[in-house]
Amino acid sequence: MRRCNTVVPQVRRRCALACVISIVGAEALQAASDGAQSAPVATLPSAAVRLTQMSDDNAVGEVVVSVVAAGSEESNLFLLCSIPSTAAAFSIIGGGSRNIGGPAVLGPNDPPIRVRCTPQAALLSASMSCEQRVSVGDQPSPLSVAVECPAAEPALIELTPKLDFGAVPAGQQSFRWVEIANRASRPATIAECRFEGNDAADFELTDYVDFHPNPSFAPRFPLTIPAGFATQLPIRFDARAPLGAKTARFLCQGAAGTTVNGDTVVQGTVTSGAGVSVNALSSVGLIVLACGVLLIGLGLRRFG
């Protein structure tokens, strides 16, 4: 523009116009050059992702990252995904970061982001947010997707339906095992057990002091039973007067997430004849693990 100021007015106007056109043209070319450089563009699912594939006590699911714009050569999109710490039941498996280089292949960007959760009594929902950083252009807003954890199916506990102590002379005792089996695919917890009925005082959930190889062990609640296992608890019948049949119900209450199916009818008959106490306890609860290791399981056993 200084050179334009050195000429006569008529020529000066023409020179100024040419200089402006030259400057604008250069800016346009620079803008076009900048616009040719762009980072890959990715999206997350618009609908909530339900975690369903069960792994042990957890639900696992996959969040697919889709590339919708390839981006230019030597450009990059960096994603850093996380779930708020307030959603403690959820976690991202293997971290949630990835770098997508341009030009990227359109479609799903493998591997998907794997999310795990621990099911609770009710369905849970959380937001997974992915911070975006690009090597060229303006920094885009974070991506987000809702992830849902299914409600846990209640663990199912089954009890021995009936225990008959038979005829027991007055003043003697008899013992039987009551079996508590966990038929579910996850651990079940018994909060407490009790006897009900007119003759409930004649029956007692006892310990293993007299007949178990580990006399320091006694049933204590809450009692957790692994998936696919059963435990046997000893019940004592005290044959007290009056003579005749004695009957009660043995009931167990499950902790949160555990359902107990039915109860156990316990019965025995008090007789007048002399005799000795009847001990029908036979199992010490051996657990045979899948790896072939044999352990004394303190009353626990795997059922077929």
In angstroms, the CA 65 to CA 99 distance is: 12
Q: Is residue 13 part of a domain?
A: no
| Cα angle for residues 28, 30, 32 (degrees, 5° grid) | 70
* Residue in the structure block whose two tokens are 């334009």: 4
Per-residue pLDDT at 294: 27
Containing domain of residue 296, as a range? Answer: 155-302
| Residues 6 or more apart in contact with residue 209 via CB below 8 angstroms | 215, 218
Same domain, yes or no, for 171 and 290?
Answer: yes
Same domain, yes or no, for 230 and 135?
Answer: no
Question: Are 295 and 214 a contacting pair, CB within 8 Å?
Answer: no
Written as six digits, the tokens of 274 are 């002399």
Same domain, yes or no, for 267 and 142?
Answer: no
Q: Is residue 278 part of a domain?
A: yes
* Residue in the structure block whose two tokens are 């959760």: 117
Same domain, yes or no, for 77 and 196?
Answer: no
Question: Are 218 and 210 a contacting pair, CB within 8 Å?
Answer: no
Q: Is residue 140 part of a domain?
A: yes
| pLDDT tens-digit map of 44-58 | 999 999 999 676 678
Same domain, yes or no, for 101 and 181?
Answer: no
Burial of 124 (0-12, 13-18, 19+ CB in 10 A): buried
In angstroms, the CA 68 to CA 213 distance is: 67
Tell me which residue of 79, 67, 77, 80 sits closest to 137, measured CA to CA: 77
| Residues 6 or more apart in contact with residue 160 via CB below 8 angstroms | 177, 178, 179, 264
In angstroms, the CA 50 to CA 121 distance is: 16
What CATH code is carried by the domain that includes residue 194?
Answer: 2.60.40.10
- Taking 70 as the pLDDT cut, the residues of the chain under it are 1-36, 53, 55-56, 208-218, 274-301, 303-304
Per-residue pLDDT at 286: 29
Same domain, yes or no, for 159 and 286?
Answer: yes
Q: Is residue 170 part of a domain?
A: yes
Q: Is residue 20 part of a domain?
A: no
Q: Is residue 51 part of a domain?
A: yes
Q: Is residue 9 part of a domain?
A: no
pTM for this model (two decimals) = 0.55
Q: Is residue 272 part of a domain?
A: yes
The tally of domains found in the chain comes to 2
Per-residue pLDDT at 301: 67
- In terms of DSSP bridges, do strands 223-225 and 188-196 run parallel, antiparallel, or are they unpaired? antiparallel
Q: State the CB neighbour count (10 A cutoff) for residue 96.
A: 21
Please identify, among 149, 168, 188, the residue that sits at the C-terminal boundary of a domain.
149
Please identify, among 130, 149, 168, the residue that sits at the C-terminal boundary of a domain.
149
Please identify, among 128, 149, 170, the residue that sits at the C-terminal boundary of a domain.
149
Same domain, yes or no, for 288 and 168?
Answer: yes
